[in-house]
Amino acid sequence: MNKKKMRAVQIKAPGEYSVETLPIPVPGYGEVLVMVKSIAICGSDPGIFSGKVLKNGWPPYYPFVAGHEFAAQVVEVGEGVTDLKPGDRVAGEAHCGCGTCEMCKKGFYNLCLNYGKKEAGHHHYGHSSEGCYAQYQVYDQKALTPLPENVSYDLGTLVDTTGIAYNALRLTGVEPGGYTAIIGPGPMGIAAMILAKALGSATIMIGRGKRLEKAVEMGADVAINFEECPDVVGEVKRITKGGAHQVIEAAGNASAYFESVQMARKGGHVALVSIPGEDGQQAALKTLIMNQITLHGVRANPNCSRTVLNLMSQGTIQMEPLITHIFSIEDIHEAFDTFTGRKDGALKVLIHPNGEGED
Ligand SMILES: [Zn+2]
Ligand SMILES: [Zn+2]
């Protein structure tokens, strides 16, 4: 049907990618063709592009179009789509469950039992199914959430990161008037900090350098520079008089996984957000048992998009300062270099694949 062409970033082989001209895909039953307006580079994208780091079968084949943090405008709807129409502004989600398995029926479509089975209707966009580093893409309608009028496409790209941070805090719960300790002042950690504050908690950010400074600028109540603090766990316990009520790990290194449990208050909750490498497989089990800590694994952001978009729309959370750079799709290599090299204080680096138009 669509004979038109588009520009898209294709990963050709591990670590090898370029901008190519490809056919615009056609929406099937229950699917929506969108014009991608803004894309955010995710912390997991460099691992997917290199094909080595995550070892989860991402990408599943070559060439492959990755990417999963985006906002877009609906161009065409397939049969069976009733709630979206051309012109609608939407934000995307990576996980689309089959809708019929035990986990999907419970609302945990991030844990769909039909993972990777497109024939069952499952998609993990940008991971097992092709994603948003393109001018156009087709999505299942379940993966799209309307953008509130006053939320821009750029801000809409942050729904993935902010949604995961929200999922972490939903799992730990937030003690009003308590303390949330966050390890790792990257986009995820800062999003968790902003949300925890909005939910009534004081925040302690643990990190170093420019990112720690940025977290303070964006509202962290206390900053601990681990390079200058010989006993981070002791310092958190001292400030909180016994340990943080909830701890969010967003750093992805072995000491962060271990210390996250140690710095929690007795009876406290800890959420692990980063996907560990080989050296991140150990938790402080004795402390976990003796202090009756609850440890939560956090996978993605099921049923979080509407909540975080409403929080953005209502002005309860201010995420704009996370966006530090914007590139065109043709400059994808420079965009990735800026993101991975953390150049000029890079946090969220965006791509505008269709130029600057805002409608
Ligand atoms: Zn992401
Ligand atoms: Zn399912």
Q: Which residues contact 54 (CB under 8 A, 6 or more apart)?
A: 44, 47, 48, 275
CATH of the domain at 83: 3.90.180.10
pLDDT at 278: 80
CATH of the domain at 223: 3.40.50.720
User: Does residue 303 lie in a domain region?
Assistant: no
Q: What's the CA-to-centroid distance between 340 and ligand 1, angstroms? A: 14
**pTM of the predicted structure, to 2 decimals:** 0.96
pLDDT at 357: 63
Is the same domain home to 167 and 135? no
321/191 Cα distance (integer angstroms) = 11
Residue 69 zone, left/alpha/beta (φ > 0; ψ -120 to 50; rest):
beta
Q: What's the CA-to-centroid distance between 96 and ligand 2, angstroms? A: 8
Is the same domain home to 219 and 237? yes
Q: Mean per-residue pLDDT for 227-247?
A: 98
* 43 DSSP 8-state letter: T
Is the same domain home to 285 and 167? yes
Residue-wise pLDDT for 152-161, tens only, equals: 999 999 999 9
Residue-wise pLDDT for 76-123, tens only, equals: 999 999 999 999 999 999 999 999 999 999 999 999 999 999 999 999
Map residue 160 onto helix, strand or coil: helix
Residue 2 has pLDDT above 90, yes or no: no
Q: What's the CA-to-centroid distance between 70 and ligand 1, angstroms? A: 9
Among residues 159, 151, 220, 232, the alpha carbon closest in space to that of 190 is found at 220
Q: Mean per-residue pLDDT for 243-254?
A: 97
Residue 52: pLDDT band by 50, 70, 90 thresholds?
confident
Residue 330 zone, left/alpha/beta (φ > 0; ψ -120 to 50; rest):
alpha
pLDDT at 55: 63
Structure tokens at 176: 């009003």
User: Does residue 305 lie in a domain region?
Assistant: no
Number of domains observed in the structure of the chain? 2
Residue 326 has pLDDT above 60, yes or no: yes
Structural domain span for residue 183:
161-297
Residue 280: pLDDT band by 50, 70, 90 thresholds?
confident
Mean pLDDT, the chain, whole residue set: 96
Looking at the CA of 120, name the nearest ligand. 2
Looking at the CA of 112, name the nearest ligand. 2
Residue-wise pLDDT for 20-50, tens only, equals: 999 999 999 999 999 999 999 999 999 999 9
Looking at the CA of 117, name the nearest ligand. 2
Q: Mean per-residue pLDDT for 336-350?
A: 97
Q: How many contiguous H segments (helices) and E segments (strands) does the chain have?
A: 11, 17
Looking at the CA of 102, name the nearest ligand. 2
Element (DSSP H or E) covering residue 264: strand 264-272
Q: Which residues contact 146 (CB under 8 A, 6 or more apart)?
A: 84, 88, 89, 90
160/69 Cα distance (integer angstroms) = 6
Is the same domain home to 254 and 265? yes
Residue with the bigger pLDDT between 207 and 356: it is 207
Q: Mean per-residue pLDDT for 331-358?
A: 93
Is the same domain home to 102 and 171? no
Is the same domain home to 35 and 90? yes
